[in-house]
């Protein structure tokens, strides 16, 4: 018997280490399922899930949709760009209209931090946060931690460096929460303008030199420079960023140690990661994508299963 402590997955901040362990154990089983000749189980056949995306996404949305289909759920997709949101409908009205069509779960991405938390106060369906602005992206953090666990075993005591645009990254925040809860040591590294002012209060180390960060860590989670969130200039040019913070295969080889490179995608090749580094044996980027489906299946299964 097993149950998550929460009815929704709004953020890693709200869930317990036991919840994370339960999700991982369930994801192990789903990973075996999606590698079978018949990759489908009937668990969620009486569940309808709406994927409500107010912000663009390819990977996360495909991954969620595939996870839902592998669990035999009925799926409806909604994206804000071609909907009545354009006509001025409020978030709550939009979601209530979807729920009136007898939908059991909502997977939502929204540009405003806290949007799923607001929704959770007003509706009864289960909500999974698929990214809310610069706040949290819980399933990404879970699949990142799951991928590290798969390569290195127990996360306790492992050193993980998160490198790049920490300021705008929901992946960074969720990763920090998840890794700390699992007992890992976390370091953030990036140019000072892209590091939040009080980040050290989360119990992470701060490093400005990427070479020292790579020297220190077992795993480097390299984040994307969010070109769409750079209205203000945080660094002089992309070329300068890649010169000081870009990671290349030569750099990794010069470390003379085992290191794992992760990236939540989409990669800006040649900016934060050169092509030869992204495609090197150090990289587990495609494992992350595969694990994403298994982890999301586990989250949906556990949330749907609790009465």
Partner 1 sequence: MQKKLILDTDLLDITIRRLCQQLIENHNDFADTVIIGMQPRGIFLAEIIHKKLEQDTGKTILLGYLDATFYRDDFRRRETPVKANETRVPFIIEGKKVVLVDDVLFTGRSIRAAMDAMIAFGRPATVELLVLIDRKYNRELPIAADYIGKVVNTLTSQRVLVELEAQGHKQNKIWLINKD
Judged by the rule CB under 8 A, the positions of this chain that interact with partner 1 are: 1-3, 22, 25-26, 28-29, 32-33, 36-38, 40-44, 46-47, 71, 301-302, 304-307
Burial of 237 (0-12, 13-18, 19+ CB in 10 A): exposed
What is the nearest approach in angstroms of partner 1 to the Cβ of residue 289?
22
What is the nearest approach in angstroms of partner 1 to the Cβ of residue 134?
33
Is 149 annotated as catalytic? no
Residue 102 gets which letter from DSSP?
Answer: T
Are 55 and 111 a contacting pair, CB within 8 Å? yes
CA-angle at 274, arms to 268 and 277, nearest 5°: 120
Catalytic residue among 70, 137, 263, 282: 137
Rounded-to-integer distance, Cα 161 and Cα 172, Å: 10
Which helix (H) or strand (E) is 207 found in, with range?
strand 205-207
Burial of 81 (0-12, 13-18, 19+ CB in 10 A): exposed
What is the nearest approach in angstroms of partner 1 to the Cβ of residue 11?
22
Catalytic residue among 31, 70, 109, 149: 109
Is 59 annotated as catalytic? yes
Residue with smaller CB distance to partner 1, 121 or 307? 307
Residue with smaller CB distance to partner 1, 22 or 172? 22
What is the nearest approach in angstroms of partner 1 to the Cβ of residue 25?
7
Are 114 and 14 a contacting pair, CB within 8 Å? no
What is the nearest approach in angstroms of partner 1 to the Cβ of residue 36?
5
Is 87 annotated as catalytic? yes
Is 250 annotated as catalytic? no
Residue with smaller CB distance to partner 1, 163 or 299? 299
Residue with smaller CB distance to partner 1, 46 or 93? 46
Is 61 annotated as catalytic? no
**Angle formed by the axes of helices 138-152 and 170-181, nearest 10°:** 50
Catalytic residue among 36, 86, 87, 102: 87
Residue with smaller CB distance to partner 1, 241 or 301? 301
Q: Which residues are catalytic?
A: 59-60, 87, 109, 137
């Amino acid at each position: 018997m097993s149950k998550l402590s929460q009815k929704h997955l709004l953020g890693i901040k709200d869930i317990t280490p036991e919840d994370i362990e339960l999700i991982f154990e369930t994801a192990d089983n789903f990973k075996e399922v999606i590698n079978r000749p018949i990759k489908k189980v009937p668990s969620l056949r009486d569940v309808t899930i709406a994927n409500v995306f107010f912000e663009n996404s390819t990977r996360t949305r495909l991954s969620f949709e595939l996870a839902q289909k592998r669990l035999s759920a009925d799926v409806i997709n909604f994206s804000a760009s071609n909907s009545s949101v354009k006509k001025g409908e409020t978030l709550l009205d939009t979601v209530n209209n979807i729920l009136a069509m007898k939908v059991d779960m909502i997977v939502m991405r929204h540009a405003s931090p806290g949007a799923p938390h607001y929704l959770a106060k007003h509706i009864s369906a289960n909500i999974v946060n698929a990214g809310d602005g610069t706040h949290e992206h819980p399933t990404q953090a879970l699949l990142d931690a799951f991928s590290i666990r798969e390569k290195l075993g127990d996360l306790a005591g492992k050193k993980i460096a998160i490198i790049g645009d920490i300021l705008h990254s929901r992946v960074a925040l969720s990763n920090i929460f998840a890794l700390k809860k699992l007992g890992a040591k976390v370091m953030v590294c990036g140019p000072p303008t892209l590091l939040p002012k009080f980040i050290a209060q989360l119990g992470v180390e701060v490093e400005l030199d990427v070479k020292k960060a790579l020297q220190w860590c077992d795993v480097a989670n390299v984040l994307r420079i969010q070109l769409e969130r750079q209205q203000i200039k945080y660094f002089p040019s992309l070329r300068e960023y890649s010169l000081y913070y870009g990671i290349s295969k030569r750099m990794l080889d010069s470390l003379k140690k085992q290191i794992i490179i992760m990236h939540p995608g989409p990669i800006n090749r040649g900016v934060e990661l050169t092509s030869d580094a992204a495609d090197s044996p150090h990289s587990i980027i495609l494992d992350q994508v595969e694990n994403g489906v298994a982890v999301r299946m586990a989250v949906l299964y556990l949330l749907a299963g609790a009465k």
